Amino acid sequence: MYLCHKKKMLSSTDFIPQPYAETIEKGSFSASAPSNIALVKYWGKKENQIPANPSLSFTLKNCKTITHLHFSKIQFTENFSFELLFEGNPKPSFRPKIELFFERIAIYLPFLNEYHFVIDTQNTFPHSSGIASSASGMAALAFNLMSLEKALNPAMSEDYFYQKASFLARLGSGSACRSLKGEVVIWGNHAETERSSDLIGIAFESIHPHFHRYQDTILLVDKGEKQVSSTVGHELMKQHPFAEKRFEQAHQNLTALKKILTNGELTEFVQLVESEALTLHAMMMTSLPYFILMKPNTLEIIQKIWKFREQTAIPVCFTLDAGANVHVLYPENFRIEVLQFIKNELVVYCQNGQYICDEIGDGALFLN
Ligand code: PMV
């Protein structure tokens, strides 16, 4: 007789804690968490921040949020008690998002109703640069909240800490669950990825040295507010005529990309990454209502990258997130040539000539 040792699937109830061992009156924690850039894109979601398809991202290093969380014990309160400071000043416009986040996670962190919090946060990337700070912001806050939970339950394992931080971050902003740990992170059930889960991001570690310190130069084409938010975009995938085919393709592309990352096949990498970026925007253009987030300069840059690649055979490529900015991706050993090309030919298409040099990083950090 065989005994089947099938691993138990992770479930939300795994993150509901037992009564805490310790009590703490007050204190503070600090953390930084980076942004991430998806290569296989998440676009479309179900209830409770469950993705419609699996995704894979590179974790960034320099674009990050730094958050200090101060807490002091109060009587149980139905309404959450918190102050929010962004770059040292109160930021009322961020409150609803945090309020909603706390509502969603209160069942997993019952102490939320028993403390007053001061959330003091800042980003390393320029203010309203068009770079979404929700991934890094939610990841940094979730990480700090887990530091507090760990202080209340010191027996917590490191694995559980990171899994739950990712689980909580996802409930703040889907892609935030990919900003906790690992240079390359996969989020979403994928038949061909062991331990993959719709609930958390997991690190993918079989990465070829060609991707070591892979560069991402972010060209800031349009720093304005997006006309259509990601939330609306995800929602539009529900009645999208091509949705099923797209979700199927994301599964296949993830299988292919894992192999590419392991074998270091840069030509295949370029093709798959650009195809994913354009597919994301094709989904936007074929939604009802339809919309376009790329700007004329986005297309100018793409054309220039294609021309430069053809002329030099340097495996530089682009990806896009839900906006007009262009992420230029390339191996570290071509850094000098590509940066020169960016300065000579692409900076003219950036708003105020602005761009950010970043590279693969490995996730969130404790700062105290
Ligand atoms: O995490 P959200 O809801 O902001 O959605 C992110 C969507 C994309 O950035 C376009 C793709 C992705 O996988 O990050």
* Interval between CA 187 and ligand 1 midpoint (Å): 12
Q: Which residue has the higher pLDDT, 130 or 17?
A: 17
pLDDT of 191 > 60? The answer is yes
**Which atom, in ligand 1's list, is nearest to the CA of 36?**
14
Task: Report the nearest-CA residue for atom 6 of ligand 1.
Answer: 175
**Mean pLDDT value across residues 148-160:** 97
Q: Which residue has the higher pLDDT, 216 or 368?
A: 216
Task: Report the nearest-CA residue for atom 9 of ligand 1.
Answer: 321
* Interval between CA 192 and ligand 1 midpoint (Å): 22
**Mean pLDDT value across residues 183-188:** 98
| Three-state secondary structure of the chain | CCCCCCCCCCCHHHHCCCCCCCCCCEEEEEEEEEEEEEEECCCCEEHHHEECCCEEEEEEEEEEEEEEEEEEECCCCCCCEEEEEECCEECHHHHHHHHHHHHHHCCCCHHHHHEEEEEEEEECCCCCCCCCCHHHHHHHHHHHHHHHHHHHCCCCCHHHHHHHHHHHHHHHCHHHHHCCECCEEEECCCCCCCCCCCCCEEECCCCCHHHCCCEEEEECCCCCCCCCCHHHHHHHHHHCCCHHHHHHHHHHHHHHHHHHHHHCCHHHHHHHHHHHHHHHHHHHHCCCCCCCCCCHHHHHHHHHHHHHHHHHCCCCEEECCCCCCEEEEECHHHHHHHHHHHHHHHHHHCHHHCEEEEEECCECEECC
**Mean pLDDT value across residues 186-208:** 97
- Enumerate residues lining ligand 1, CB below 6 A: 38, 41-43, 55, 132, 134, 173-175, 230, 280, 321-322
**Mean pLDDT value across residues 282-290:** 97
* Interval between CA 105 and ligand 1 midpoint (Å): 20
* Interval between CA 43 and ligand 1 midpoint (Å): 7
**Mean pLDDT value across residues 90-114:** 96
**Mean pLDDT value across residues 308-323:** 97
**Which atom, in ligand 1's list, is nearest to the CA of 42?**
13
pLDDT of 16 > 80? The answer is yes
Note if the pTM is more than 0.85: yes
* Interval between CA 207 and ligand 1 midpoint (Å): 23
pLDDT of 4 > 50? The answer is no
* Predicted pLDDT at 320: 96
pLDDT of 79 > 80? The answer is yes
Q: How confident is the model at residue 126 (pLDDT cuts 50, 70, 90)?
A: confident
**Which atom, in ligand 1's list, is nearest to the CA of 173?**
1
**Mean pLDDT value across residues 190-219:** 97
pLDDT of 155 > 70? The answer is yes
* Interval between CA 287 and ligand 1 midpoint (Å): 16
pLDDT of 167 > 60? The answer is yes
Write the pLDDT tens digit of every residue in 28-77.
999 999 999 999 999 999 999 999 999 999 999 999 999 999 999 999 98
Write the pLDDT tens digit of every residue in 231-246.
999 999 999 999 999 9
